Amino acid sequence: MAGKTVYLAVYNTFADWEPGYTTAHLTQHGYTVKTVGATTEPVTTMGGLRIQPDLALDDVRAEDPDAALLILTGAQLWDTGDELAPFARAARTFLDAGVPVAAICGATAGLAREGLLDNRTHTSAVSFYLDATGYKGGEHYRESDAVTDHDLITAGPTEPVAFAREVFARLGVYEGEKLDAWYRLFHDSDASAYEVLES
């Protein structure tokens, strides 16, 4: 595995429930999750939690050999101005360096504005949500719970489990039967899947 550090972007109005499955299971599989803010000043999530970022965005280097993933979640700020645009630009830097980026909910609109969805297969909440950004990637939109196109993972706001599944597949955390079992356990509450995961 090339890197073991996962960068989780955090900002005011951050949708704190969206990356939970992803970060919890990555941590259990040896990854280190570092929170990244615009600065290291505390932010307040949509759920009212206060987070002190580990790093400022300017201090994150996509070319760091330990960099494994950048996660961008939804936030009200994606739809109210350009405050989060630097995070979308950081996503471009990560993708250019061959490091995966996973974006869910409103973060997909940020990527659309940055032009990162113009030529990549992707999904989001609904197609017209991204159309409103003026992006040119409508033909690549898929009605799906989550989509992976090489190093880019996208998902809609109601799909944190599918989002995690795509991340695990891309990073090789779970594969094949175990990946399917993990999804069935956490998405479908299929208790029989637990035996597969423990085997």
Both tokens assigned to 64: 């760091």
Q: Which of 103, 90, 89, 99 is nearest to 147 (CA)?
A: 103
Rounded CA-CA distance 86/21 in Å is 25
CA–CA separation, 99 and 82 (whole Å): 24
Clarify whether 86 is annotated catalytic. Answer: no
- Exposed/middle/buried for residue 150 (C-beta within 10 Å: 0-12, 13-18, 19+): exposed
Three-state DSSP class for 99?
Answer: coil
Residue pair 181/193 in contact (Cβ under 8 Å)? The answer is yes
Which residue of the set 105, 107, 125, 146 is catalytic? 105
Q: List the catalytic residues.
A: 105
